[in-house]
Amino acid sequence: MTLTLYMHPLASYCHKALIALYENDTPFKPHFLDLGDPTVRAEFNALWPVGKMPVLLGHRREQTVPEATVIIEYLGIYYPGPTRFVPEDPERAWQTRLSDRFYDLYVHEPMQRIVADRLRPDGSKDPFGVEAARATLRTSYDMLEKQMGQRFWAMGETFSLADCAAAPALFYADKVQPFGETHPALAGYFGRLLDRPSYARVLEEAKPYFDMFPG
């Protein structure tokens, strides 16, 4: 096996990388991480000192590739398949990358701030930060609602890097700031993501861990 993915089945950014791997049936070995184990954390930090999942280890090229977006671009270059995640056309390429960053920064990140606050002990909660995160999500939902009224996938008719970013961001964001009843076009897009075989597989593998999600 030439690729190893350091990951946890519940971790949202790991979902993003897994979608890309499953889209093209790219062979890889999953390496599950329990970062609550000090030994596991120390070993992972030796590989990637930032200590954040996912990380892809490319044995053939002897390369350590962190960050889900970079992993997906790496796979597109060195392990291409039927699904092309970033278009060849430069205009479409930068727009796809912008959509990817939008989902990461303005859906995924505020969702994670809300989840992290749920894990804080009483007395150290951050209600101001949580409300700011919810405000960002509301703004993002409104913007995406306008977009998805005109599109099938994030960038139009073709599944891309942006959809890999959107699926886990929306899956977990809907749990902390539901959008199904208020944003029908976005909800319809989310339904198509759930039906995509690559993401359906990711969620099926994550099912045994869902009780770990806070609240």
| Segment 1-46, tens digit of pLDDT | 689 999 999 999 999 999 999 999 999 999 999 988 999 999 999 9
Over residues 186-191, mean pLDDT? 98
Strand partners, 30: 5
CA distance 92 to 70: 18
The residue with greater pLDDT, 153 or 123, is 153
Give counts: helices (H), strands (E), the chain: 9, 4
Q: Look at 65-69, 120-124, 146-150, 170-174 and tell me which has the smallest mean pLDDT.
A: 120-124
Mean pLDDT estimate for the chain: 96
The Cβ of residue 195 has, within 10 Å, a number of other Cβ atoms equal to 9
State the Cα angle at 206 between 214 and 129, rounded to 5°: 30
Tell me which H or E stretch contains 65.
strand 63-66
- The strand pair at 29-32 and 63-66 is best described as unpaired
pLDDT band at 170 (very low <50, low <70, confident <90, very high): very high
Tell me which H or E stretch contains 178.
none
SS3 56: strand
Q: Does the pTM exceed 0.85?
A: yes
Q: What are the distances in angstroms from CA 172 to CA 73, 119, 165, 169?
A: 23, 15, 12, 6
CA distance 176 to 141: 13
Strand partners, 3: 58
Identity of the amino acid at 133: A
Q: Nearest 5°: phi and psi at 117? A: -65, -35
Of 72, 90, 77, nearest to 159 (Cα)?
Answer: 72
pLDDT digits (tens, 9 = 90+) for 50-59: 999 999 998 7
pLDDT digits (tens, 9 = 90+) for 59-107: 777 899 999 999 999 999 999 999 999 999 999 999 999 999 999 999 9
Q: What are the distances in angstroms from CA 10 to CA 27, 33, 64, 168?
A: 20, 11, 22, 10
pLDDT above 90 covers a percentage of the chain that reads 93
State yes or no: pLDDT of 48 exceeds 90: yes
